[in-house]
Structure 1
Amino acid sequence: MKSYKLASLAICISAALQTTSLSAQEVEKNEAVLETITVTAQKRVQSIQDVPISIATLNGEKFESIFSGGEDILALAVRVPGLYAESSNGRVAPRFYIRGLGNTDFDLAASQPVSIIMDDVVKENVVLKSFPLFDIEQVEVIRGPQGTLFGRNTTAGIIKFDSVKPSEDFDAYGKVAFGSFGTVNVEGAVGGGLADNIAGRFSFLSQQRDDYIDNAFSGEDDVIGGYDELAWRAQLLFTPTAELDVLVNLHGRDLEGTASIFRANVFTRGSNDLNENYDRDTVYYDGNLLGNGFDNNPQEYENFGFSVKVDYDFDEATFTSITANEEAEGFSLGDVDGGAGSGDTSVPGFIPFTAVTQDKLNDLEQFTQEFRLASNSDDALSWQVGAFYYDSSFNVTSIDGFFGATTVFHENTTWAVFGQSTYEVSEKLTVTGGLRYTEDEKSLRVGDQNVDGFALVIDAAQIQEYAPINVDDGQVGYELSANYKLDENTSLFARYANGFRAQSIQGRDVAFEGAPSVAEAETINSVEVGFKSDLLDDSLRLNAAAFYYVVDDIQFSAIGGGANNTALINADKGTAFGFEIDATYIVNDNLVLTGGYSYNNTEIKDDSLSVFPCGANADFGGNCRVLNPRTDDNRALIDGNPFPQAPETIFNFTARYSIPAGENGEIFAYTDWAFQGKTNLFLYDSVEFQTDDNVEGGLRIGYENFEHNYSIALYSRNITDEDNVKGAIDFNNLTGIVNEPRVIGIEGKISFF
């Protein structure tokens, strides 16, 4: 299987390189040139080639192709060098990783070092991070710590989404796609002037897929795997004067579908290959937590939010205010053991005990306020100063059939002041410095505990009551960077950045008679150097960066063991080094190639830190074959291990070829491929829970008419129907989580101007 995957990828790359070689001599004749990409990574509009930060962007056809088969935000994984994403919570609560740094915690209160910014608003809770992507102008993946302008919890980097904004000019589009498994995607937007100095835009997304997985235990066909997602966004832009802009953004989503599909005993001890227990179209579930028959892993979430952005231009500076509020609630239920029954009668394979849990997010409210004053002159010195306030509260109820229901309440308040300045020392050299002070407070309070649980009856005297937990921390983050232009097409940059992730509190273990845990704040010191260049008469863009970082007191989540606990821990240090390369090559008017590669070498450094491995019993490591040294009580020493879910290598490649069709159209073919190298799934190292050589590809073949602004295309996602392991659950059997199946379909789009 691995040889087949690599062969498929090699054929694609070889064909592209041969075409590149044959066409290189024709570059001088090429009339097409690279477009100028502008980004707002430093909260002001700049060319991507002038920003001294490693940045990659996604937009247009490259972005739309990734999501053509009904994918959610997780489809961004491996599509950008250094970027990875995964989840054990279905279409909500994604976990992001940049340069190997992330957090595997599956709890709804988890803290992550990758920040998601949507339309200038931070989405801190993991559920808010999963808001569907549609009518997107551009995605910016900003690698490395971004604590000066964007605050704590950005030690790994930022993924920044900007939707298409209203304008006075009318435009609209509609897009419909049909695919395998009854997949139907409908997306559209309409915008333009509504009255004098008022413009609006409304956009929406509807994604549907039929259930296609059978529950062989209950005898039900096609009861798992589907979803029904509806999301919308309404924007109003007021420009009463030449100096004042007011943008109002309302948005919401409603999701009903299936949570993650857990598959029991799909690995054989001593191997990480999927075995005969794995069947993409079949599971064995006996969960009945909701009391209405077999639950089949349902999931439901709702989210509503708004933001108001005000920009006022003075003669020499612009004042910006961004006020935002988010609300969300919902639940996910999972047959976590991935099978049915227990003991000798369980299927598939041996399952010691059944495990079905539901996590419910209640009353999430997030309020943010940012004020910023930035210079807007052409002077050599540019600057910006600002203040930020964040307040959130929510509670999570965790339920299973044994311990009952337990609710924990979380609150988090943050405020910060920041400033950044850039000085043009000469026409070639620009220097930037930034400083931010952040104060962060978190609290956890345990509410109802083990309500209506069987454990309460047999073990009431042992149920522990926990006092409220309050933590606070204040730290300064800073950065210094320089950009030097060798010539008008090539620049070198260097950057040093310091940032921190505030203390984290984890309370999910309380639901299973375990104590809550606290992780101390982590701090990162990162250096990177790189170059950005537009070569071959603006037909080749080649950007690269090399980095090294050290995280002191790095936060990890020790997940699994015999009780599937979720405890926060700190390691002494975590280190990483590596590089990223992003390239775009316009071979000629008909052929465009893009490619990217990243290498991340991460290492945990703590010679005494240990965690319970799979199953946590003393029989040679429990369910799996642990490769780490062991303590006397069977814990695995993890010093020297890579960070969990941190791909060592990522490679992605796209090619678009078109030929004219009449005077006003073209026939095109577009393919995209992504490769994920060796990845360790947990903190400990075992044979079973690591992946390598995961490959997925996509293809679009279609016709586009420029006169009437429409296109129609055949598409396929995961075209070779790869079975790639994306995650696992290790506490009572060898449970795996795999990627989505191949989807083949047809898509049509029409635009109006």
Structure 2
Amino acid sequence: MNRKPLIHRAPLALAVTLALSAWSAQAQDATKEGEAARAAGQNKQLETVVITAERRVENIKDVPNAVTAISGEKLDVLNSSGQDVRFLSGRVPSLNIESSFGRAFPRFYIRGYGNTDFRLNASQPVSLVYDDVVQENPILKGFPVFDVKSVEVLAGPQGTLFGRNTPAGVVKFESVKPSQKRDGYFNISYGTFGTMNVEGAANLPLGGDWSARVSGQVQHRDNWVHNANPKGATQDTEGYNDRAVRLQALYEPHKQFSALFNVHNRELKGSARVFRASMIKPGTNDLVDGFDPKVNYTDGTNTQTLHATGGSARLKWVMEGFNIHSITAIESVQPFSRGDIDGGYIYKAPPPYANQGEALFPSESSSSMSGHRQLTQEVRLESTAAGPMRWQGGVYLFDERYTAISTDYSSATTLATGHVDTHQTNRAYAFFGSVNYDVAPDLTVRGGLRYTSDKKDLDVTSSYANLNTSTGTTASTKDSKWNWDLSGTYKLNKETNLYARVGTGFRASSIQGASLFAGQSQATPENVTSFEAGVKSEFWDRRARLAANAFKYQVKDLQLTAVGGTNNANRLLNAAKADGNGFELNLELLPTEQLLLTVGASYNNTKIKDASLSLPKCGSGCNMLDPLVPGTNRYSIDGNPLPQAPKWVANLTARYAIPTADGNEFYVYTDWAYRSKVNFFLYEATEFTGKSLTEGGLRGGYIWNNGKYEAAVFVRNVTNQVRATGAIDFNNLTGFINDPRTYGVQFKALF
């Protein structure tokens, strides 16, 4: 197999970035022409994008980091058809999100860097921060997106200012805060498969120094996949009822103090991810002939529930020359997910079902968690005094505990046959600081430093007498690390900034407990160093906004998860290192008052570099593409790309408005997202290479009464493209697919 890259693209990406900066500088002439037009009231401008990527409010152009923000109508459109947080996948350069648990357990990848581990105590290198609170457990990361002011995706290591485990980046959500205004909104959509999305929020001025905001979302979809095996315990799947609510209260007695309280809850009941045995045609990565997304063939039970509750208190004191921030939070989640892991039936059914959905042997299990509790505390000081220097620093505390329970069932009786309980505690603390200094009117330098200490304790108990105890049933880790970043921003002119950044990140050791199939495994800490250079510009009289960058990173002692095999084991290991490089681009254009365009694109070239690393052959009868290690039955994965890491990601939106004489508006809106092929696992195999995926949406609507009311029709996954988005490697070429095409109508009212 030829493992040589077609071209080393990092220098090319840097050249493209510099060329774009020159282009934006040349656009000053167009800007001057546009100023006269604006004075005559003939044209509009793009809205200024304000973000908190550096833990303070800033114009996105001034932040020396690759940040993409989604808000407003674009966020509403993407979230209109009842999808979960995975709707963001591909909508941001270098972002991929997938799940083998459905709505409950999303796995995030930025610049190809993530973790495919399916255990409930898995750690991920992409951190999710919701309302300034890190959501560490992967189940917490699936909290629904509603009444959100903005979503920010920060690429590259963010090891200085944010929570923990951020070597790949951060996905940051910020809810709309309460205010003294008496307003709100109501939004409802309904579509095929009985898909319904109801969302609303209201500000509640309480008089005096208090205000509140209550917001909620209810999502529903009917079961649309039918089990054609009459012996199956569950006959209809892929439906859900997902309810979430958030209550916020804001106390502002005076300008020197404020307290924002947040209580939130989620209740999910529906289907676990539907696995489909014999889905992939042997020798190809095509779906089998006659594949029908609306039909599966299983002999097991499928169900999923989730209860999540949390709260936080964000306090702010305004002192002379600095502010004090305190963020105290608690999160608790109780998931239960049971499914037919083999994805089929173990006895051939009569025609026309024979050989479709057939599994080689039965496997039915559930994953659940009890006693989960995450406590976090952060105290941060932020300077406000005038002058060339601005600083912030603080302390962060993290304490989490839970028991993850894996239960096996008999497919014949549907009764539990045994369970393995993994008890884990995780305590961490950190000290951090950051300084910005204006070296000159056109040059700002930023530097940050963070010390992290992380400790984990794990022990396993089981009802099985034959638990694999070859490597023990208890483990403890204790890691500490200094991380830093340094960046500079140079104002090329009024419209354009150039920046460069180098940063490091750290992920503490991971442990996976013993099971029936594999012994306890452990991965040592991983460390990443990343280099990035880019340009950010607003030009053409602020009717165009450009952000482009080139990057290169290396992860040492990369934590990997070997998933699958003949016994569906889950084993942690370290690769000596992995390299990644590429470029990213975001472009917004307002060519006319009626037309708005956005374009995003990224290229990510990732490679595992460890000549000693090899894995057994897959357990599903696949065709291995990796070279066999001489004298063994193992295959080298040296030079393979990281799993679930598409080389290319691209997205496009276009909105065209048609004003009416009475001041109302018709509009047409379309959005598209593309990702190139991916490897599902660490090894390369013909059957487990996911094809490229393109999903698009189309929407038409009418807005009236000064924007107070909106009615629209929409379609998601316009082309109805059906693709395998993941696989289960231990049975008969089992996989799962993306969501189907849906049509719907929507109504929104502001009040």
**TM-score (structure 2 length as normaliser):** 0.92
1:631-679 per-position Cα deviation (integer Å, ceiling 9, x unaligned): 3442221000000000100010000001012323100010000111121
CA distance in 2, matches of 1:356, 1:72: 25
Q: Aligned AA for 1:398? A: S
Report the count of equivalent residues. 705
- Gapped runs of 5+ residues in structure 2? 1-29, 411-416
State the SS of the aligned residue for 1:625.
coil
Deviation at 1:218, TM superposition (A): 2.0
Deviation at 1:448, TM superposition (A): 3.0
Deviation at 1:343, TM superposition (A): 7.5
Counterpart for residue 745 of structure 2: 746
2:374 equivalent to 1:370: no
User: Which of 147, 170, 194 is the equivalent residue of 2:159?
Assistant: 147
1:540-581 per-position Cα deviation (integer Å, ceiling 9, x unaligned): 111101000010000010001111111011000000000000
Counterpart for residue 27 of structure 2: none
CA distance in 2, matches of 1:343, 1:607: 43
Deviation at 1:51, TM superposition (A): 0.3
Contact 2:469 2:519 (8 Å CA) reproduced: no
Deviation at 1:513, TM superposition (A): 4.2
Go from structure 1 to structure 2 and tell me whether the alpha carbon gap of 1:696 and 1:708 turns closer, same or farther (over 3 Å shift).
Answer: closer
Go from structure 1 to structure 2 and tell me whether the alpha carbon gap of 1:246 and 1:349 turns closer, same or farther (over 3 Å shift).
Answer: closer
Deviation at 1:344, TM superposition (A): 9.5
Contact 1:594 1:655 (8 Å CA) reproduced: yes
CA distance in 2, matches of 1:707, 1:317: 41
Counterpart for residue 258 of structure 2: 245
User: Which of 351, 361, 366 is the equivalent residue of 2:369?
Assistant: 361
CA distance in 1, matches of 2:508, 2:463: 27
Deviation at 1:347, TM superposition (A): 4.6
Contact 1:56 1:140 (8 Å CA) reproduced: yes
CA distance in 1, matches of 2:281, 2:399: 46
In the TM superposition, 1:514-529 aligns within 5 A as: 514-529=518-533
In the TM superposition, 1:302-321 aligns within 5 A as: 302-321=307-326
In the TM superposition, 1:192-203 aligns within 5 A as: 192-203=204-215
Contact 1:582 1:596 (8 Å CA) reproduced: yes
2:323 equivalent to 1:326: no
Counterpart for residue 487 of structure 2: 481
Counterpart for residue 419 of structure 1: 433
CA distance in 2, matches of 1:559, 1:647: 19
1:451-478 per-position Cα deviation (integer Å, ceiling 9, x unaligned): xxxxx5xx58x77693421001010000
1:162-202 per-position Cα deviation (integer Å, ceiling 9, x unaligned): 01000111111001111001111110000042111111000
State the SS of the aligned residue for 2:492.
strand
Deviation at 1:269, TM superposition (A): 1.8
State the SS of the aligned residue for 1:61.
helix
Counterpart for residue 81 of structure 1: 93
2:715 equivalent to 1:716: yes
Q: Percent of pairs identical after alignment?
A: 43
Contact 1:340 1:347 (8 Å CA) reproduced: no
Counterpart for residue 626 of structure 1: 624
2:132 equivalent to 1:120: yes
CA distance in 1, matches of 2:455, 2:328: 20
State the SS of the aligned residue for 1:391.
strand
CA distance in 2, matches of 1:566, 1:343: 29
2:71 equivalent to 1:59: yes
In the TM superposition, 1:382-461 aligns within 5 A as: 382-401=390-409, 404-450=418-464, 456=465
CA distance in 1, matches of 2:637, 2:471: 32
Counterpart for residue 82 of structure 2: 70
2:550 equivalent to 1:546: yes
Contact 1:277 1:349 (8 Å CA) reproduced: no
Deviating more after overlay: 702-711 vs 636-645: 702-711
Counterpart for residue 495 of structure 1: 501
2:69 equivalent to 1:48: no
Deviation at 1:75, TM superposition (A): 1.0
Counterpart for residue 453 of structure 1: none
Deviation at 1:363, TM superposition (A): 1.5
Contact 2:70 2:152 (8 Å CA) reproduced: yes
Q: Aligned AA for 1:664? A: G
CA distance in 2, matches of 1:588, 1:374: 41
CA distance in 1, matches of 2:207, 2:263: 19
Contact 2:344 2:358 (8 Å CA) reproduced: no
Contact 1:343 1:353 (8 Å CA) reproduced: no
Deviation at 1:342, TM superposition (A): 4.6
Counterpart for residue 567 of structure 1: 571
Counterpart for residue 594 of structure 1: 598
User: Which of 558, 562, 568 is the equivalent residue of 1:558?
Assistant: 562
Deviating more after overlay: 661-670 vs 238-247: 661-670
User: Which of 539, 551, 554 is the equivalent residue of 1:535?
Assistant: 539
Counterpart for residue 666 of structure 1: 665
CA distance in 2, matches of 1:714, 1:87: 28
Counterpart for residue 22 of structure 2: none
2:276 equivalent to 1:278: no
Go from structure 1 to structure 2 and tell me whether the alpha carbon gap of 1:463 and 1:471 turns closer, same or farther (over 3 Å shift).
Answer: closer
Counterpart for residue 641 of structure 1: 640
CA distance in 1, matches of 2:716, 2:541: 34
CA distance in 1, matches of 2:504, 2:292: 47
In the TM superposition, 1:279-294 aligns within 5 A as: 279-287=292-300
Cα RMSD after superposing both structures? 1.8
Contact 1:170 1:191 (8 Å CA) reproduced: yes
CA distance in 2, matches of 1:44, 1:36: 16
Contact 1:575 1:604 (8 Å CA) reproduced: yes
CA distance in 1, matches of 2:694, 2:554: 30
In the TM superposition, 1:177-188 aligns within 5 A as: 177-188=189-200
Deviation at 1:399, TM superposition (A): 1.0
CA distance in 1, matches of 2:544, 2:418: 60
Q: Aligned AA for 1:501? A: R
1:61-111 per-position Cα deviation (integer Å, ceiling 9, x unaligned): 111111111000011110101100000001011000000100001111110
State the SS of the aligned residue for 1:271.
coil
Go from structure 1 to structure 2 and tell me whether the alpha carbon gap of 1:477 and 1:260 turns closer, same or farther (over 3 Å shift).
Answer: same
Deviation at 1:705, TM superposition (A): 1.0
CA distance in 2, matches of 1:95, 1:257: 19
1:15-74 per-position Cα deviation (integer Å, ceiling 9, x unaligned): xxxxxxxxx999785511111111111100010000000000111111111111100001
Deviation at 1:152, TM superposition (A): 3.5
State the SS of the aligned residue for 1:274.
coil
Counterpart for residue 614 of structure 2: 610
CA distance in 2, matches of 1:393, 1:348: 42
Q: Aligned AA for 1:630? A: L
CA distance in 2, matches of 1:102, 1:469: 24
CA distance in 1, matches of 2:164, 2:375: 16
Go from structure 1 to structure 2 and tell me whether the alpha carbon gap of 1:708 and 1:139 turns closer, same or farther (over 3 Å shift).
Answer: closer
State the SS of the aligned residue for 2:372.
strand
Contact 1:203 1:233 (8 Å CA) reproduced: yes
CA distance in 1, matches of 2:618, 2:407: 23
CA distance in 2, matches of 1:750, 1:548: 46
Deviation at 1:352, TM superposition (A): 1.7
CA distance in 1, matches of 2:355, 2:121: 32
CA distance in 2, matches of 1:698, 1:89: 24
Deviation at 1:613, TM superposition (A): 3.1
Deviation at 1:738, TM superposition (A): 0.6
CA distance in 2, matches of 1:255, 1:202: 19
State the SS of the aligned residue for 2:103.
coil
User: Which of 270, 280, 283 is the equivalent residue of 1:257?
Assistant: 270
CA distance in 2, matches of 1:722, 1:370: 45
CA distance in 2, matches of 1:226, 1:251: 23
CA distance in 1, matches of 2:471, 2:66: 48
Deviation at 1:692, TM superposition (A): 3.3
Deviation at 1:276, TM superposition (A): 2.1
